[in-house]
Amino acid sequence: MSQFNIEEEIEDIAGGEFERTPVPESKLKSWKSFLGMYAGEHAAGTEFVIGPLFLTTGVSAFDLIIGLLLGNLLAVLSWRFLTAEIAVKNRLTLYYQLEKICGKKLVVGYNLANGILFCFLAGAMITVSATAVGIPFDMPMPKLTDTLPNGITWILIVLAIGAVISIIAARGYDMVSKAANWMSPVIVLGFLICGIVALNQLGVSSFSDFWNIWGEGSEPFPGQIKYTFWHVMIWSWFANGAMHIGMSDLSVFRFAKKASSGWTTAAGMYVGHYMAWIAACLMYAVYLKSPEAQAIVSSGGAPSVAPGPMAYNTIGIFGILVVVLAGWTTANPTIYRAGLAFQAIMPKTSTFWVTIIAGTIATIAGLFPAFAMQLLDFVALYGFILAPVGAVIVFEHFFAKKYGVIKNYAEQANIRFNKSVLLAWALSFGIFYFISVQFGVFLSFVTLPAWLLCGVLFLIFSKYFHLS
């Protein structure tokens, strides 16, 4: 699911330029430049948690395998026909495009939300790495229902990992970015090997054996909701909603020669998400057959979703290494990106210190296992909050001329705060979040309606306020 260092890698290729100007034709990249990045970036630390969490929802074989197949396809189509299409027309970063439409003050609010959410995601990845580092210390693993730290060993390991990751992110991002490129193939290989070994451990010798791992589904574990086909498909579509319909990857595809480069996201969705999620799910299926897990289930509890022990149980020391690398290579650039978002709010503060601040927030979040154990819910919330902002860009791009809306209004009117954008987002967010909470509607189900409403309201408010 993670692609948070793609932007920096591409900008490193391009010399880190063009933050406030369109990318010139001489710096454009072919589709091959995006293929490997997306394949590697979406096989990350998050996948070690998301795969097993699907199993805890009691999902059936059909709902998981076909739901993921179609949900990831919808994500690829969103990248191809929305994000990449707009990116190659304007060739601007998300932040500069938003500034032109919304004004600088509103972009600061977006950066704050983005930075905080990035910190929480990085915290979940610190949690993932801690489950691997804690194995030699015989550390008790967090349970699925745990919210608070479960002991002093857990706290010390998380603090140590968080400190190392934060310092490296603050002082050596170029080295980390290059190292991540080298590590990505190792992580992808690790997922593949884990999946193959887990199939052997489960005694799978035919497709029907594989299908029967999930079968017709089961009751969800304590604290989880039951996932159907629609839950799986819609959730997997919007797992990266902030990046495609939320337009964050405008910053990536502005370097593409053609919008058809958007098809390369399929490598991320099907190598990373599809293969890696199912491989991680298989590892958890192996763990559930262990005496430890069976004892927890028989007592009515929820077995731990701890990537470290699962990977170690499957492929030994190499499994621990893969989990540590996957968590680290996700958390590090995520903290870096959060630091950049905070720096936009505190421009006089050095990059080093804003990144340390971001790392501190992420480390504190990592102490609380709930961010990792409830990652499905957190990712749904992340997309729901940020995706509607992208609707403003999409609806302006495709419908401004038809409905007489002034494009890049904040820039044209020389204003720092476009109230049409804030009202559109606040109303769409408020209405559908209320529906989700009040009527128990799965949050991912209301992401698309909120996105559509935000875009429509933006056009209506823009038409009204621009003429008044």
Q: What is the pLDDT of residues 58-85, one digit of tens each?
A: 999 999 999 999 999 999 999 999 999 9
User: Can you tell me which residue has the tokens 């100007």?
Assistant: 21
In a domain, 424, yes or no: no
In a domain, 388, yes or no: no
**pLDDT tens sequence across 297-355:** 777 777 888 888 888 888 899 988 888 888 877 787 788 778 878 877 887 888 788 88
In a domain, 413, yes or no: no
In a domain, 289, yes or no: yes
In a domain, 444, yes or no: no
Which residues, in sequence order, are CB contacts of 23 under 8 Å at separation 6+?
14, 91, 254, 255
| Mean pLDDT for the chain overall | 88
In a domain, 336, yes or no: yes
* Sequential DSSP letters for 297-366: HHTT------HHHHHHHHHTHHHHHHHHHHHHHHHHHHHHHHHHHHHHHSTTS-HHHHHHHHHHHHHHHH
Smallest Cα–Cα separation from 63: which of 215, 241, 255? 215
Domain CATH code at residue 159: 1.20.1740.10
Is the predicted pLDDT of residue 6 greater than 50, yes or no?
no
In a domain, 153, yes or no: yes
Dist. CA 229–CA 351, nearest whole Å: 44
What pTM value is reported for the model?
0.88
Q: Which structural domain range is residue 83 located in?
A: 6-379
In a domain, 299, yes or no: yes
Report the domain count for the chain.
1
